[in-house]
Amino acid sequence: MNFMNRAWLYIIRKRGKSILLFIILLVMATFVLTALALGNASKSAQRDLRQSLGGSFLIGFDYTENNPYLKVESVNGGTLMYSTQQISPELVEQIRGIEGIKECGATVEGLAAFPSLKLFTGNIPIEEEFRESSKILSTWKSEELTRFTSGQLTLTEGRHILPDDKNKGLISKDLADKNGLKIGDKIQTDKGVEIEIVGLFSPREIEGINDQVTTYDKIQNLIITDLAALVAYENGPAIQGFNELTVSVDDPQNMEEIISKVKGISGVDWKGFSFLVDNEGYEKAASSLEQLSELVSTILIVVLIVSIAILSLILTMWARTRIHETGVLLSVGISKLSILGQYIAEVLLIAVLAFSISYFSASAIAGQMGNVLQSEQAVTEVQQENGLSTGSRGEAGTDTEDQKIETPKLQVRVQFEEMGLLFLLGIGIVTVSAGISSISVMRLKPREILSKMS
């Protein structure tokens, strides 16, 4: 009779012990499986959160003495500060090609006069020479601007600015209606630079009557162009490229790796630039999920250690009561290895049944815990909405509007992946525990066993 048959007969014969061991293993398996399900749900929620929030970093001029390319000039009684090393469209394209980067909002701002345009008037008095002026925001690709990706602006007609465009522009639909302009028309600056209108945008919100804003700062007067248009208008060394680049990434966890790849681009002296990472929104929103993940990991480790300890103690106590049986088996020529295999097989047969049934008990508990955690998340989201500002510095020094962070819901359910891991861990625990419990008997010699039996 092989050891598997002996194990099965022992389980049937010792029903009391078998049922007790089944209950112990079922409880342990339920705790382990629930912890595994919570751990996977937390990781999944963190992954969804990273994908929904993303992250960004800003590359801009370093306006300190550390920048060897910084120039300071006196112009018309004022001070002009700029860097001779600027962000070229070619560099933006290289950065955009790095894996993990989602958008590149490259920008540079200027102020230009449009004598033929009727602008919306602001409520802050300005000098006569600026009353016909509006801001020009030059970009590499307008659809990747933070203003558009955040929903602050929406393209309503035409197309976006593209990297190969020259003297193309977007204006607000309000400004177009006020001046009787349409797509394909051209507007001209006071310096003779013509900009062809290729698209119209609408702002989500406009300045209120009580908002203090100048004419050239009103969102309805904003003109978005390609880089060539502003370079031609300025016609000087101060603007030959972009001065800010807002880079959005798919996964905030890869932020440092992506920044390292950007700094690894050859042919660029990064001493002239500074990097500002905006990851605060994700870090604050993800903190509760990270704490849950750490707690689950701790619980899992404790459960595993306690399971091994309890199971080893119980099996050791039972093994000492089987000295007579061990002596009989040895006396009929059965090897210690076969006897050890029988003892381990007895526990494994019960464990397989307990692990299988634990799927139902763990699913019920995991579902209840998921409901509790979702209720706690609802409270957290309200607190975040009331107290957490996720506004970040957008293109050309503009702050994007606050956005509500909604933490992904925890979907806590037992999956086949957790079941497979449970069987792997469980069989390991059972084998170790049964092996430890049998050492005290297996190391005895036949003569010692017979003396204990007498």
pLDDT of residue 230: 95
User: Residue 285 is inside which H or E element, if any?
Assistant: helix 280-320
* pLDDT more than 90, % of the chain: 33
Q: How far apart are CA 454 and CA 451, in angstroms?
A: 5
Residues 252-264 have pLDDT tens digits of 888 889 999 999 9
pLDDT of residue 403: 46
Question: For residue 1, with 0-12 CB atoms within 10 Å meaning exposed, 13-18 middle and 19 or more buried, which class applies?
Answer: exposed
Average pLDDT over residues 340-358: 86
Length of the chain: 454
Question: Does the pLDDT value for residue 450 go beyond 50?
Answer: yes
Domain ranges of the chain: 3-51+284-453, 55-249
Question: Does the pLDDT value for residue 454 go beyond 70?
Answer: no
Higher per-residue pLDDT: 71 or 318: 71
**For the whole prediction, is pTM greater than 0.85?**
no
Residues 7-59 have pLDDT tens digits of 888 888 888 888 988 998 898 888 888 888 887 777 777 777 666 667 889 99
**Cβ atoms of residues 54 and 425 within 8 Å:** no
Say whether 126 sits in a helix, a strand or coil: coil
pLDDT of residue 435: 76
Q: CA-CA distances (angstroms) from residue 172 to 5, 183, 214, 273?
A: 84, 11, 17, 32
- CB proximity list for 271: less than 8 A, separation 6 or greater: 62, 66, 67, 68, 69
